[in-house]
Amino acid sequence: MELKKYQKTTLETLESFLKELHKVGLRYAFMGITEKPYKAEAFNEVPFVCIKIPTGGGKTLVASYAVEKIMSGALQNKMDKGIIVWFTPSEAIKTQTLKKLKDRKDWHRRILDESFNNNVKVISNEEALSIRKEDVSNNLCIIISSLEAFRKEKSLHNKYKVYQENGTLIDHFEHIEEPSFLERDSEDSVINSLANVVRLSNPLIVIDEGHKTTTKLSIDFINDLNPSFIIEYSATPRDNSNVLVEVHASELKDEQMVKIPIVLESASQWQNSIIQGIDKRNELEKNAKKIKGEYIRPIVLLQAQPKSKDDHTVTVEHIKEFLIERKIAVEEIAIKTSDKNELEGIDLFDKNCKIRYIITVNALAEGWDCSFAYILVSVANLGSKIAVEQIIGRIIRLPYAKKKDNEDFNRSYVFASARNFNEAANQIISGLESNGYSKSDVISGEKKNTPYELEATKAVTDILKVPMMSLDDEKLSFEDLIGDTFELSKQDHKFDFLIHYDNDGRAIIDIKKDDEWMRGTQMFLKLNYADKNFTKKELIQWLDKKMRFPIIEKSDKVSFIDKAIEHQLKTHSISELSVNRFVLCERINEVINNILEKFAKDKFDRFLSKKKISTQKYDEFPNKITLKYQVDQEFNKNYYDKVDKLNGEELNFIQRLDLDTLPNIKYWVRSREKIDPFYIQGWKKNKFYPDFVAVTKKGNIIALEWKGADRVSNEDTEYKVEIGKIWENLGKGKNLFFLVHNGNIEETLTKLKLY
């Protein structure tokens, strides 16, 4: 499955964090990635990070990929075995997650099977009550559980089976040292419980909708499970969450995942809200028939009030009667409440399905998705906040994750019964914020043609095309530098390799200070026979699968790995290499990347000396862009009418660049990494995206890279300066490159005046 840009970036950031975790430890790794302090209050030295993704952003898909990265990165010592506890906020989400992860045809399960060579068992917490010792020893066992099933309250302790004595689990506790973190009974005997099995495994904890674990009780029971790593996914992280990645609603819109903005209209009479919803649905269905190649049957979700003794309550029955009075066919109406489910077994995407109206109270709050749901009509008393916060997320997904030509189909609609618009708007915005969205994602029905607030349009008449590295009149790429003739198998396959575990799985504890191997991990691995007895062929197959180099032919890669293993076998046994295969994989990855980079550098230098590399203008900056954030400030010379997020130092610099004291600057633009069209390609695989581009009245194009004080002199910065200056020289006086930091702002601005 092709991941969206923000999903790729999320996983790349997680991977970078895991690598830094090896090198510099938890706090510095987190601060290096996020530039924010790490909050260790909840789980002390156990890594605890949060991925913020709004509703509709594919949290479960990202989580499925992230499992492999964490197991291969921070938790290599587990050898892809043991227990993961995957907590869901409710039974409904638990059922939904189990369905996805148990179905071997589902993408989520296929990702896991591919990552762990099909040695994956997905079970519910009820099924885990009979989990076998060999299941844990030979597989990655993912226990899907609601938070409630493990929530530990002393007054209700006997209620939770996961903490109870269970004879079925006794084999897990035979011949163990009975560590102190295991729970014991009143006679100081270790309890043969599922909770203790989990503790023994030192599990990876995955928390879906982590903001639901807000209480100290929730934090304590997770800590009590002896976790090795905790990752949470949330649309609205808690104050003490360590947000490693923050995905914005505008990114989902840009990737055609969601229907925003939401168009909101209110009416004081609930009947009028329903009529508005019916009219809008009919209008959408009429226009849906004009969409070529896609079937859409717009659906209205109608939110009723719960039954009460109050005669004025607008119940499910009242709404159904009203719909029938409006000539809506009975077969087009379905009820989904806690005690009545007329959606059971119904495929709402089926072209033969008649349902166009779904009446609920709050039963659709979780675990239900249908992208055909375009309209929410709420007759509930919005002042009571009855489930609007959850239910609004049900209308937000864009059908087929594909933008429509008719803008009406790229938006969702809310018709609310409220005393006035502001009352409705405040509650809807509250609901959106609970799903990771914001007030900028709502517009009034009276202003339905208003552009999305986070869209920015060109503010100048010029068309901006920035010169880029070119080879034979085509954009230079890393693939060009490697070429078709490169053969990895003919490169040097010999390298030093330090063994970290002996044949019995005992960790070598006398590790050198500069060694990057994990610190503070358990001293013994629970290695089974298969771990220690890979054949050479099996080890090569495993390494081939773990190392992804799409630029290299598979047979060529396998041949190189074969030679590398043969060389290592002169000093290590196959058993030692098997036990250390994760570290070996990292080492071979490093060796191959160094070979590729050296080869690319030699080729780059040859092309440069023969004048085959030049700079050419290619793609233009688009007329319209979608921002992650909007800087709350106006500028005089910005290429767009709004500016995307800047940190404090960048903002200070760009304010100086924007001033009239630099009259030669015609305009400038914030050039966003992996989004905007300009980058500089050198001999390293990753493209370099300078932070800003300025254009002078003389037509000079200036690339400006901002660096914080802590990164002014590192290896990455040195490389960027080197290729930046090459790009400048190729421009023959029309291209200019500057590295800017707090120590040279004045000097840089003075130089810019010359162009």
Average pLDDT over residues 179-193: 89
pLDDT of residue 609: 95
For the chain, what is the largest distance between any 2 Cα atoms, rounded to a whole number of angstroms? 87
Query: Alpha-carbon Rg of the chain, whole angstroms?
Result: 29
Q: Is residue 457 part of a domain?
A: no
pLDDT band, residue 555 (cuts 50/70/90): very high
pLDDT of residue 363: 59
pLDDT of residue 579: 87
- Residue pair 120/83 in contact (Cβ under 8 Å)? The answer is no
The CA distance from 77 to 519, in Å, is: 11
Token representation of residue 496: 């030093």
Same domain, 330 and 390: yes
Same domain, 600 and 741: no
Q: Tell which wins on pLDDT, 666 or 313.
A: 666
Q: Is residue 460 part of a domain?
A: no
Same domain, 75 and 208: yes
Last residue of a domain, one of 580, 609, 638: 609
3-state SS, 3-67, equals CCHHHHHHHHHHHHHHHHHHHHCHHHHHHHHHCCCCCCCCCCCCCEEEEECCCCCCHHHHHHHHH
pLDDT of residue 445: 83
**CATH number of the domain that residue 272 is part of:** 3.40.50.300
Same domain, 518 and 667: no
Residues 655-693: pLDDT tens digits? 999 987 889 999 999 999 999 999 999 999 999 999 999
Whether 84 has a pLDDT exceeding 90, the answer reads yes
pLDDT band, residue 364 (cuts 50/70/90): low
Residues 563-592: pLDDT tens digits? 999 999 999 999 889 988 988 999 999 999
**CATH number of the domain that residue 746 is part of:** 3.40.1350
Whether 46 has a pLDDT exceeding 70, the answer reads yes
The CA distance from 691 to 239, in Å, is: 30
DSSP annotation of 2 reads P
Least confident of 1-5, 114-118, 140-144, 446-450: 446-450
Same domain, 590 and 694: no
Same domain, 641 and 714: yes
pLDDT of residue 735: 95
Same domain, 575 and 649: no
Domain count within the chain: 4
Same domain, 528 and 549: yes
DSSP annotation of 693 reads E
Chain-centroid distance of CA 349 in Å reads 27
Close Cβ partners of 2 (under 8 Å, ≥ 6 residues apart) = none
pLDDT of residue 501: 66
Same domain, 86 and 158: yes
pLDDT of residue 515: 46
Q: Is residue 658 part of a domain?
A: yes
pLDDT of residue 530: 63
Same domain, 189 and 235: yes
Q: Tell which wins on pLDDT, 319 or 499.
A: 319
Same domain, 220 and 264: no
Whether 286 has a pLDDT exceeding 90, the answer reads yes
Average pLDDT over residues 383-400: 70
Strands 262-267, 442-444: pairing is parallel
Q: Is residue 123 part of a domain?
A: yes
Q: Is residue 484 part of a domain?
A: yes
pLDDT band, residue 215 (cuts 50/70/90): low
In 3D space, the residue among 386, 374, 373 whose CA is nearest the CA of residue 427 turns out to be 386
Last residue of a domain, one of 247, 280, 309: 247
pTM of the predicted protein model? 0.88
Last residue of a domain, one of 247, 273, 297: 247
pLDDT of residue 520: 39
Same domain, 196 and 269: no
Q: Is residue 458 part of a domain?
A: no
Average pLDDT over residues 210-232: 80
Q: Is residue 459 part of a domain?
A: no
**Mean pLDDT score across all residues of the chain:** 88
Average pLDDT over residues 107-123: 95
Q: Is residue 573 part of a domain?
A: yes
Average pLDDT over residues 498-523: 50
Whether 607 has a pLDDT exceeding 70, the answer reads yes
Domain extent at residue 739: 465-472+612-752
